[in-house]
Amino acid sequence: MEDPITTHSEINMVFNSEQEAYDFYNGYGGTKGFSVRRDWEHKSIKDNKTITSRVFVCNKQGKKKLDKRDDNIVKPRTEIRTDYLARMRIKLNIDGMYNCIEFVEEHNHELHLPSTRNVSEFHAFEIDLADDSGIRPKDMFKYMSRDAGGNRALGT
């Protein structure tokens, strides 16, 4: 079986900015059927603003951390995140460009509503919140579309 992690020498993708890398991975996720989120970042020690490395993952990647307030929750949310390897990692090089240093395609869950649908940030946030609560993104999108007067109305 092949190793799912592709090394830097096999990738050779370069981006002008962190946003350009995100847009690329978001487009890739849209074609494969998953939504993307920014996971972690490292920033420059000099100005604490420049992102020196970043990881993009599927929005269902990882596990939620235990919260000491969990004992007080009356209706706990169902766990929707999964632990798997799919991700894209970028790193700022000396020329000010971002190199893709790791690209893992493997998924271990059912793929869902892509984040490339034309929805506003507010509606996308609402869909993600509903997803975290156990409501399928497709169902929430359908509900919000009806409420807004159609799919196209969610993009404004």
pLDDT, residue 31, reads 78
- Over residues 104-116, the pLDDT tens digits come to 887 655 545 444 4
Name the burial class of residue 103, with classes exposed (0-12), middle (13-18) and buried (19+) by CB atoms within 10 angstroms of its CB: buried
Q: Are strands 87-92 and 36-43 parallel, antiparallel or unpaired?
A: unpaired
pTM for this entry = 0.57
pLDDT recorded at residue 114? 45
| Percentage of the chain lying above the pLDDT 70 cut | 64
Contact 150, 119 (CB under 8 A): no
Angle subtended at Cα 115 by Cα 91 and Cα 133, rounded to the nearest 5 degrees:
110
For the chain, how far is it from start to end, CA to CA, in angstroms?
46
Q: Tell me the mean pLDDT in the region 127-152.
A: 78
- Please tell me the least confidently modeled range out of 43-47, 126-130, 148-152: 148-152
Closest by Cα among 18, 34, 21 to 131: 34
Question: Is it the case that residue 9 has pLDDT exceeding 50?
Answer: no
Q: Is the pLDDT of residue 2 over 50?
A: no
% of the chain beyond a pLDDT of 90: 23
